[in-house]
Amino acid sequence: MALSRYQFERAFHDSAAAVGRARAVRFYAAGALDEADALYWQRVIASCHGTVLELGCGPGSSLRALRPDSCRLILSDISFQMCRRAREVAGKDPAGGRVSVVQTAAEALPFAGGSVDLVIGHSVLHHLDLCAAEREMLRVLAPGGRAVFLEPLGHNPLLWLYRRLTREERTRDERPLRMQDVEALAAKFSAARHTEFGFTTLGLVVLRVLLRRPRLWPRLLNLLSAADRTLAELLPFIREFYWVTVIELER
């Protein structure tokens, strides 16, 4: 019998919690997404109050950036093993008493309506049934609540090629977001914006994967990141070919 979407996702990430994803980690650690990460965490931290729910928390790595001394933090993941690791990380944190870990699918959250002030997620929406997850987000978010996500985009043919070459590091049903998905998601909220990153900097990622980091790497990265920002302003239609988007939503 074929595994359901949820069973496959759970089994894949249970395994990833134990063995990791070495090739993908090397690719994503190339530095070209530093700006996207920085904006994502900046927006998360600025909105971090009340009850914060992270979808797809993985091994609890967000606790390195978040200090839940002024909020209640709920880490959630469909994977039992990822939740186990997140509990271990939370147990070592001085503010761990304000952190809870819940194993759940994002499409069926076990929380009361209007009980969450901020929903966050790093590379999680593209694993989900987006319509069902959006309904749950809208249900659990309090009026005025916010959501912040960092997600890969699926228009660039080079990124599609890379994903096809690394199928073993991907789940069967995951699908990078299209701009139509981003716009459909934004349409259900009272306010929304998204910012794209990673176009010319993709060339640096290839260099980083194939070669040792060049001596001029920081300068090249800064130069091409600035070029990406300029291109996005001058030619908005090419933003869909960027690598990732940071999505900010308000209930």
Domain boundaries, the chain: 5-250
Q: Are strands 141-152 and 244-250 parallel, antiparallel or unpaired?
A: antiparallel
Task: Mention the CATH class of domain 5-250.
Answer: alpha beta
Q: Is residue 144 left, alpha or beta, with left meaning phi > 0 and alpha meaning psi from -120 to 50?
A: left
Q: How many C-beta atoms lie closer than 10 Å to residue 229's C-beta?
A: 15
* Distance in angstroms (rounded) separating the CA atoms of residues 142 and 76: 18
Q: pLDDT at position 165, please?
A: 78
Record the tokens describing residue 23, joined without a space: 């090739």
Nearest residue to 206 (alpha-carbon basis) of 156, 153, 140, 246: 156
Q: pLDDT at position 114, please?
A: 96
Record the tokens describing residue 146, joined without a space: 């916010």
| Mean pLDDT, contiguous 10-residue spans, the chain (251 residues) | 71 73 56 84 91 94 77 93 91 72 95 97 95 96 96 90 80 91 94 93 68 67 88 93 95 88
Q: What is the CA radius of gyration of the chain?
A: 18
pTM (two decimals):
0.88
Q: pLDDT at position 239, please?
A: 94
Nearest residue to 115 (alpha-carbon basis) of 138, 87, 86, 134: 138
Burial of 210 (0-12, 13-18, 19+ CB in 10 A): exposed
Nearest residue to 53 (alpha-carbon basis) of 117, 130, 145: 117
